[in-house]
Structure 1
């Protein structure tokens, strides 16, 4: 059995999710602008590491629910779908930033955060984000089949963690370029709208699967 279609769907959904502005983007933006590229990169690595936490919860939870209490899995799927609908409709209504809105670009005489501080800030920002937890749980519930080997599931998780870190490290570099930073701030709401459509599609699939 080939798992490439499964992997490609996960990779595509994850790319849209990680590119959507949110708390992770906000912390990388702040660190890149206020403290510089190096500090933002370590925060990005922390964000990537936190993805493994979400993936672990999702995989363990899905495995237990499928094997033991199918009705509870159905209930959880419906709850996750409703939450995705809530997030999706809000994201679709994302508005363009007001003209003249800019990020804080004055670092002043603040002391640079340590490597440990920057990493832990990124990890906690992503790890405590309930949107990320439910997104990964819903994504794995929709895409990953019960026959998918644990090794493949681990590969999916490692891939998403690595790609998340790579994405935000790239942003750490780009956001220190003045023109690119202003462009992302002005056009970022389009990522939110695209993410909203994806969330609604995942929610619809979840509801259909739950009652089929």
Structure 2
């Protein structure tokens, strides 16, 4: 796979992962509904900053190690593929579970505090770290070009912050919120299918030293 194609595929995979409801999603929803639109946007910014930190660690630490140890690269791809399939099954099973937005009571907001809550929520979620490692191991070449180190972090920031900004704006407005809640089951199942397919691909290509 060409490096530029791999970068685009990584960004699409990370967008799918961000769109799958989890702790980060619920925090942004809670702030947008229970506090204010500004708090929702501040927490979205925190999610984006946390994603950049994850991508930096994955790029620098992970690939410095994988470049020297080929068998570890293969093992990580298999483990990452199995994790992605497991994650997809969890998302699929939870697709029918409704998101109870009425439980988010509105109270006084604090955008600065919401930013830090968003950031710490992102950084404290081990599943996010594993997901990033799995995606990078699956799609990024074992010896990525230098420009990838400069392109990926800002692109990931734009994707994560952009998606959670949409969430904050949507859930602070009644009609978009209702549309999402009606389509939640199908959105979750589509995301689960895409993540599972990526996991299967990762395992199927694990024998290859590089991509």
- TM-score of Structure 1 vs Structure 2, range by shorter chain: 0.7 to 0.9
Judge conservation of contact 1:44–1:168 (CA < 8 Å) in 2.
yes
How far the C-alpha of 1:41 sits from its partner, in A, is 0.6
How far the C-alpha of 1:101 sits from its partner, in A, is 4.7
Superposed CA deviations along residues 99-125 of structure 1, whole A, max 9, x for unmatched, are x95432532xx4323x33111100111
Counterpart CA distance in 2 for 1:60 and 1:51 is 14
Superposed CA deviations along residues 34-82 of structure 1, whole A, max 9, x for unmatched, are 1110111111000000001211221123312322222223222222222
Q: Does residue 112 of structure 1 match 2:109?
A: yes
Q: Please give the root-mean-square deviation of Cα atoms over the aligned residues, in Å.
A: 2.2
Superposed CA deviations along residues 137-165 of structure 1, whole A, max 9, x for unmatched, are 11111211134323223312210112211
**CA 1:101–1:38: 2 relative to 1, 3 Å:** closer
Q: Report the number of matched residues.
A: 208
Equivalent residue, structure 1, for 2:162: 166
Equivalent residue, structure 2, for 1:103: 102
Judge conservation of contact 2:10–2:139 (CA < 8 Å) in 1.
yes
Judge conservation of contact 2:84–2:195 (CA < 8 Å) in 1.
yes
**CA 1:80–1:61: 2 relative to 1, 3 Å:** farther
Counterpart CA distance in 2 for 1:180 and 1:137 is 33
Decide which moves more: 43-52 or 201-210.
201-210
- Give unmatched runs, 5+ long, in structure 1: none
Q: TM-score w.r.t. structure 1 length?
A: 0.87
- Structure with more of its chain in helix, by fraction: 2
Equivalent residue, structure 2, for 1:11: 11
Equivalent residue, structure 2, for 1:62: 62
How far the C-alpha of 1:16 sits from its partner, in A, is 1.5
- Give unmatched runs, 5+ long, in structure 2: none
Q: TM-score w.r.t. structure 2 length?
A: 0.87
